[in-house]
Amino acid sequence: MENLFRKSLEQAPEETRTWVSKSFDITDQILDILERKGLSQKELAELLGKNESEISKWMKGTHNFTEETIAKIELALGEPVTITIKQAEEKYGGLRKKMEEQEKKLHHLEAILKQKGIEPGEFGYALAG
């Protein structure tokens, strides 16, 4: 079963696999937000003026979402479902900079330990613990 499935999947156009994967990303995010906010799919349907069955179909992961639909969902949920690279940079750029600084410090520390003959790996585990 696994072999035939994989063999046939390999024939699937990359475009199809990509949009289905994106649809799963979007619906995973929506489901995460619903769970976090304690909202049901029925309540989301009511907020959007849709039937619950339509929302259930969307959540299966093969709905081809339009930007308009995503915008309506984001407004209903009160938070973004997808963000662009630019938005991500604005939101998380500072965090990335901090992580890069921490990484530099870590490399510096590893170099010092190496000079003193201590294996950085061993020390790293100790720090993590």
Partner 1 sequence: MLLYSFHLADQQFCEFDRFINRFDINTENAVALKQKDDLYIILAAIDEIVKRGARAGRFRGENNVHALPAENCDLRLYCIRLHDGAVLLGNGGIKTSQKLQDSPDCFLHYQLLSELEKQITVRIQSRELRWEGALLKGDLYFELGDCVD
Q: Is 38 in the site for partner 1 (CB under 8 A)?
A: no
Q: Is 105 in the site for partner 1 (CB under 8 A)?
A: no
Tell me whether residue 17 or residue 107 sits nearer to partner 1 (CB atom): 17
- Distance (Å, rounded) from C-alpha 70 to C-alpha 125? 43
Applying CB under 8 A, the span of 31-39, 69-77, 97-105, 113-121 interacting with partner 1 comes to: 31-39
- 60 class by beta-carbon count within 10 Å (0-12 exposed, 13-18 middle, 19+ buried): exposed
The one-letter amino acid at 13 = P
Which residues in the 40-79 window bind partner 1 by CB under 8 A?
A: 41, 53, 56-57, 59-64
Q: Is 11 in the site for partner 1 (CB under 8 A)?
A: yes
The one-letter amino acid at 103 = E
CA angle 70, 74, 75 (to 5 degrees): 120
Size of the site for partner 1 (CB under 8 A): 29
- Angstrom CA distances, 123 to 71, 100, 105, stand at 48, 20, 14
**Minimum gap (Å) between residue 43 Cβ and partner 1:** 13
CA angle 1, 15, 82 (to 5 degrees): 105
- List residues binding partner 1 (CB under 8 A): 1-2, 4-5, 8-9, 11-13, 16-17, 20-21, 24, 27-28, 31, 34-35, 41, 53, 56-57, 59-64
